[in-house]
Structure 1
Amino acid sequence: MPIEERQPLIDRFSAITGGAALILNPKAGGAGLNITAANHVIHYNPEWNPALEDQASARAHRRGQTKPVTVHHLLIADTVEDVVAERLSRKRELSQAAVIGVEGRNDEYGDIVAALSRSPSKK
């Protein structure tokens, strides 16, 4: 959707006083929108990049939000979605450790070394 069409759509959504749903993919939801009329965010398709998912969730947590916001993740058990969800969780942990710094566990070093060995700068 072109940028100039987004804000009127958000304004219409925000003006609804009853129940309403606004469906966006995580990339659109994470691209500069403030959706403070929303009080539930439902992720129904996991993204491989946790930052995209987090940005999409954050659009409902912006300045001007007056309601508590609940974030839901819908996953189908025993499918690839379980694997994606586990990887997202692991990526968030690694990201947090890289930004804040923690004392690593031995089982974490293998993941970090394997990721660094795949770096394009190593080729």
Structure 2
Amino acid sequence: MPALDKRPIGEINAAEVLAVLRAIEKRGTHEAARRLIAANHVIHLTRWWNPAVEEQCNDRTHRIGQGRPVTVHIPLAVHPRLGRNSFDCLLQRLMTHKRGIADAVLWPQESGEMELRQLYQEILNGDEAKAAPTSGLSRVERPDLDISEPAAGVMRIAVKGGGASILVTHGIAPESVAGLLVPEDAAVISLAAAAPPKRAVGLPLSVLPDASLWPDYILPN
């Protein structure tokens, strides 16, 4: 298995990364897992129905030898009209509920038939999401987050204790934040922009037509 953790990222190709991931999946050994401590970002492109499995994946980078905060990314495919009633949002809501149960008791098992039926009915009955008011984003007070407003219509959100931050814009052109970026910023989320971006902002950019996903599906957990 190739050792990836001592080379610049530009020298690592996709085939080598895939080889490491397959080795971890097949072996599940400490030898395979320890090679991931050089990474400090986890991206869940495909969701597991059991939150414990996702947490195990996250823990492979957040283990002894990791010297930096680990940031976990969960991309959501959002339907332009359904908004928070899109499948990915419904699944995220279910996973958040299961994690809430886990905080009080043991990890829940795989999703049962009742949960799957409920998710299925929510998909069938999902109405188009109503857009949030365009007057601005509601201020959120959470003790685990640092939320600042570097400019009008812009919020910077980071988890206290370190890690990546995101910029959330509302009603303004997303490229206008280019001069506000700091090294910790990992992504920009643009809500209700008057027009599509005319140029790149230098970070991954999500453009949403309104603020219907604020704050439940945007703020970090």
- Give the TM-score normalised by the residue count of structure 1: 0.60
Superposition pairs for residues 1-123 of structure 1, below 5 Å?
A: 8-9=1-2, 12-19=3-10, 20=12, 22=17, 24=21, 28=25, 31-32=28-29, 33-34=33-34, 35-78=36-79, 79-99=86-106
Return the offset for 1:39: 1.4
| Counterpart residue type for residue 44 of structure 1 | L
Q: Percent of aligned pairs with the same residue?
A: 33
Aligned partners of 1:28 and 1:88: how far apart in 2? 22
| Counterpart residue type for residue 25 of structure 2 | A
Return the offset for 1:72: 0.6
Contact 1:45 1:74 in 2 (8 A): no
Which residue of structure 2 lines up, in the alignment, with residue 105 of structure 1?
none
Structure (1 or 2) with the greater strand fraction: 2
Per-residue Cα deviation, 1:55-94 (whole angstroms, up to 9, x for no partner): 0011001111122221111111243222221111111101
Aligned partners of 2:69 and 2:102: how far apart in 1? 26
Return the offset for 1:51: 0.5
Count of residue pairs the alignment pairs up: 91
- Give the TM-score normalised by the residue count of structure 2: 0.36
More RCO (CA 8 Å, sep 6+): 1
SS at match of 1:41: strand
Structure 1: 5+ residue runs without aligned partners? 1-7, 100-113, 116-123
Aligned partners of 1:71 and 1:44: how far apart in 2? 11
Contact 1:41 1:70 in 2 (8 A): yes
Structure (1 or 2) with the greater helix fraction: 1
Which residue of structure 1 lines up, in the alignment, with residue 197 of structure 2?
none
**Alpha carbon RMSD of aligned pairs, Å?**
2.8
| Counterpart residue type for residue 59 of structure 1 | R
Moved over 6 A (4+): none
Aligned partners of 2:75 and 2:64: how far apart in 1? 26
Return the offset for 1:18: 3.2
Aligned partners of 1:63 and 1:80: how far apart in 2? 36
Structure 2: 5+ residue runs without aligned partners? 80-85, 107-113, 116-221
